[in-house]
Amino acid sequence: MKYFMLLLPIFLFSCNDSPKPVNTNQNVEFNKWLDSVWLAKVNRYPALQTEYGYRTNDDKWDNISDSMKLAEFNILTNNIDVITKRFDVNNLSGQSLLSYKIYLYNLETELAGAEYIYHDYPVSQMDGWHTKIPSTLINQHNIADNKDAENYISRVNKVPGVISQLLENLKRRENKGIVVPAIILDYVIQSSENLILDSEKSIENHPIYNDFKTKTAKINIDLDSDIRKAITENFSLAYMDLISYLKKLKNKSNNDIGVWSLKNGLDYYNYQLKLNNTIDITSEEIYEYGLSEVDRIHIEMIKIKENVGFKGDLQSFFKFMREDKQFYFPNTAEGKQKYLDSAKSIISTMKGELPKLFNLLPKTELIVKAVEPFREQSAGTAFYETPSIDGKRPGIYYANLYNMADMPIYQMEALAYHEGIPGHHMQIAISQELEGIPKFRTIGNLYVSYVEGWGLYSELLPKEIGYYSNPYSDFGRLAMELWRACRLVVDVGIHAKKWDRQKAIDYYNDNTPATNSESIGMVDRHIVMPGQATGYKLGMRHILDLREKAKNSLNDKFDIKTFHDLVLKDGPVPLFVLSETINNWINNNKSNNDEQGEMNETDVLILTNPTMGK
């Protein structure tokens, strides 16, 4: 998940400079201050501005240096001083009071990470500026006139500066003994090689050239010689420098894939678990919960296996689901288009069901696209890209159709619900459309356990209103939940229990119907995103536990639409905040004859009981 903020063409703050709040109405002025800080941060990052649809600095790239990262920590320190000394929490109320709690939590959590500023991997198959550069240009840099085209070319020409900073960041970590594992470097090298020109590649096939020509052809702009020169003399050469360094860096890498191998690695892992889950929970508790959920889901799968009349054990059924051609579209252009058309149909049908479950509905549109060729070999199975703030650029559900054997038909429903509706698109679009709430809360996916927990909850929700009528599709839903349960086990296994890569791959192969290539891809994702994969299942369980508690406490006063609105109405929040919201609803509306309506510390997952009621 990413850290998001926003931009308008306003002043830029230095590390020790901060907007001065006016001492009038505290709620109003506090919100103004929050928005000014938020806007100021995005004003420092041109690519982030483009992502949100603001065009002020479309000719520039971000400063991605480590020194800039350190400067951000100085700003956070200054902001925490402002929020605690200049604003009186006793004079805040409603959403302003909630914003105070959330923003202070964010500041404290981010500052706690300063100790681990060099523990990250600047490049990986999941993230990094080697792919962010082309992705920003292709997916977010629109060209409507000559100025837009010139800005595009300016950015292409400035790629060497970004790559130079990226190399400095990598070398600094190399000197500290933090080197990207060799297998991950192979992915990065491969995707970067797709972006260079050599004797075997013509510029006409370069993804940036094709994108520029496609966009400018619509408005009759001819800057062909300029874009050719920019790619040939700057863009391609910069990527060649990156590839050259990464190949040398492989010699200093090793087979230790877990962060336990880094200095203070286990402390760093515990920090990542807290950051991604917004709760206090130990790696061992996560591991044990994962094992229990794997067992539970296996039992449910066995029931489906028996209901469809399959003879054989669960592993044999997994093999059947992996290999039988009825469960896959052909790996052809026609097969890939059929997948996209089917996914669009699933989303369209579910869209008509939303009024049964929600009062809050998104206004921004959602489109379905295949992952672009330049990154499909290293990208994940499916993911969601947020819309622009003004809603003019829709949300995008990306399906990776590079290998159709990795995209079973029986999982298509659950994937579409998770990434699209009622999952990520609905939650994120509604968040961006909320009014009267500071932007730092409405724009961004700060909390993995909330955002991905909602996504996984959204896979289950359609079943509760009659979907997944095909038993194989229901098996697909369970397979995806099983995948997330296994993540709890494997993430801890890699980063705290010193599992090697093959042991982690074997765990997925032995316990899920996934292909070996999917298992490999997931394990390699664990390697570069410690703790992130645990947020899905823990967040889902938290939402389900809150819903069950509300049902039991409110009885006939429980309303599913109200519950969902309460979950979504404040934008992404830490799980402890979500608990407070539902707790207040229960206490204000519980049935008079329900003496057990009051929440207590053991009622809901991770209020104060991180052992999850074991």
- Crossing angle of helices 448-460 and 424-433, in 10° steps, is 130
Tens of pLDDT along 434-491? 988 999 998 866 799 999 999 999 999 999 999 999 999 999 999 999 999 999 999 9
Asked which of 116, 139, 174 is the last residue of a domain, the reply is: 116
Instruction: Examine the domain organization and report whether 91 and 232 are in the same domain.
Output: no
Cα–Cα dist 476/486, whole Å: 15
Higher pLDDT, 423 or 592: 423
Instruction: Examine the domain organization and report whether 379 and 522 are in the same domain.
Output: yes
What is the reported pLDDT for 590? Answer: 78
Query: Are the CB atoms for 429 and 363 separated by under 8 Å?
Result: yes
Average pLDDT, the chain: 90
Instruction: Examine the domain organization and report whether 418 and 351 are in the same domain.
Output: yes
Angle (CA) 562 563 569, round 5°: 80
Cα–Cα dist 255/371, whole Å: 30
Per DSSP (E only), the strands in 305-434 are 366-370, 382-385, 395-399
Closest to 431 measured CA to CA, from 573, 313, 245 = 573
Confidence of residue 20 (pLDDT cuts 50, 70, 90): very low
Contacts of residues 108-117 at CB distance under 8 Å and 24 or more positions apart, as own/partner, are 108/80, 109/274, 109/275, 110/73, 110/76, 111/73, 111/76, 111/77, 111/80, 112/271, 113/271, 113/275, 114/73, 115/264, 115/267, 115/271, 116/264, 116/267, 116/268, 116/271, 117/66, 117/69, 117/70, 117/73
Asked which of 509, 535, 561 is the last residue of a domain, the reply is: 535
For residue 245, is pLDDT > 90? yes
Tens of pLDDT along 560-572? 999 999 999 999 9
Amino acid in position 129: W
Instruction: Examine the domain organization and report whether 354 and 464 are in the same domain.
Output: yes
Within a domain: 263? no
Within a domain: 2? no
Within a domain: 219? yes
Alpha helices for 194-256 (secondary structure H)? 207-217, 224-230, 236-249
Query: Are the CB atoms for 511 and 504 separated by under 8 Å?
Result: no
Asked which of 252, 280, 295 is the last residue of a domain, the reply is: 252
Confidence of residue 178 (pLDDT cuts 50, 70, 90): very high
Query: Are the CB atoms for 15 and 79 separated by under 8 Å?
Result: no
Instruction: Examine the domain organization and report whether 138 and 90 are in the same domain.
Output: no
**Domain that includes residue 168, residue range:** 129-252
What is the reported pLDDT for 440? Answer: 92
What's phi and psi for 382, nearest 5 deg? -160, 150
Within a domain: 9? no
Query: Are the CB atoms for 443 and 431 separated by under 8 Å?
Result: yes
Pairing, β 395-399 against β 382-385: antiparallel
Instruction: Examine the domain organization and report whether 469 and 332 are in the same domain.
Output: yes
For residue 604, is pLDDT > 80? no
**What average pLDDT does this structure show over 264-269?**
97
Cα–Cα dist 438/440, whole Å: 6
Instruction: Examine the domain organization and report whether 380 and 524 are in the same domain.
Output: yes
Tens of pLDDT along 83-113? 999 999 999 999 999 999 999 999 999 999 9
State the CB neighbour count (10 A cutoff) for residue 524. 23
| Ordered DSSP codes for 68-90 | HHHHHHHHHHHHHHHHHHTS-GG
Instruction: Examine the domain organization and report whether 110 and 188 are in the same domain.
Output: no
DSSP 408: -
Instruction: Examine the domain organization and report whether 228 and 207 are in the same domain.
Output: yes
Instruction: Examine the domain organization and report whether 476 and 397 are in the same domain.
Output: yes
Instruction: Examine the domain organization and report whether 300 and 241 are in the same domain.
Output: no
DSSP 143: -
Longest dimension (CA), the chain: 79
Tens of pLDDT along 47-83? 999 988 888 999 999 999 999 999 999 999 999 999 9
Helices H / strands E in the chain, number of each: 25, 3
Within a domain: 541? no
How much is the pTM? Answer: 0.87
- How many domains is the chain built from? 3
